[in-house]
Amino acid sequence: MRLFGERGYEGTPMADLSHAMGIHPSSIYAAFGGKQELFALAAKRYAEAAAQYLGKALDQPTFRGFILAAFDNTVEFLGSREHPSSCFTLTGAIACGTDTESAKLLMREMRLENEAAIKVRLLRAREAGEFPKGENVDDYTSSLSSLLSGLAIRAAIGSTRAELKRSAEVALRHLGIER
């Protein structure tokens, strides 16, 4: 999971996976079926464990709390040495070869699921009277997803936790969310 998260699907050769797992490449094929299947399992593990920082934000009782937690949790996750310094669904989807289509589609599906969860949370906020009137929920969802993804891109190119935090603060001000 860590190698795929750091290098993406295409940038992770079987030899490196074999070395990291401490098993022969033929054992990877025997156990998992191949690189695509191993990638899908790593993506599932990421979504169930590492990526819960968004889920914790979605559980916040208020709209403001959700937005703050979405940025704070993202910065905390991306700034932690325990995880790759990017988002698995972004890094994993960066691929150019023709044999990477299944990986790109899986990452797209995961990102769309995240956006659907964000939209549901925004709709709850609208029902509670917390979501800004006149805001389009679909557009806000897309924009919020882009801002959070931008933090992952910044982390991947080496931004520090402090730099990510400052970027998040600017984004929060643009969203009209005060601390």
Note the pLDDT tens digit of each residue in 144-175: 999 999 998 898 888 999 999 999 999 999 99
Strands (E), the chain: none
pTM exceeding 0.85: no
> What residue spans define the domains of the chain?
50-175
Domain 50-175 falls under CATH 2.20.200? no
How do the pLDDT tens digits run along the chain, 179 residues long?
888 877 888 888 889 999 999 999 899 889 999 888 998 898 888 888 766 889 899 999 999 999 999 999 999 988 887 766 667 777 666 656 667 788 888 888 988 999 999 999 999 999 999 998 899 999 999 999 999 999 988 988 889 999 999 999 999 999 999 88
Cα 55 to Cα 25, 52, 116, 118: the distances in Å are: 35, 5, 12, 9
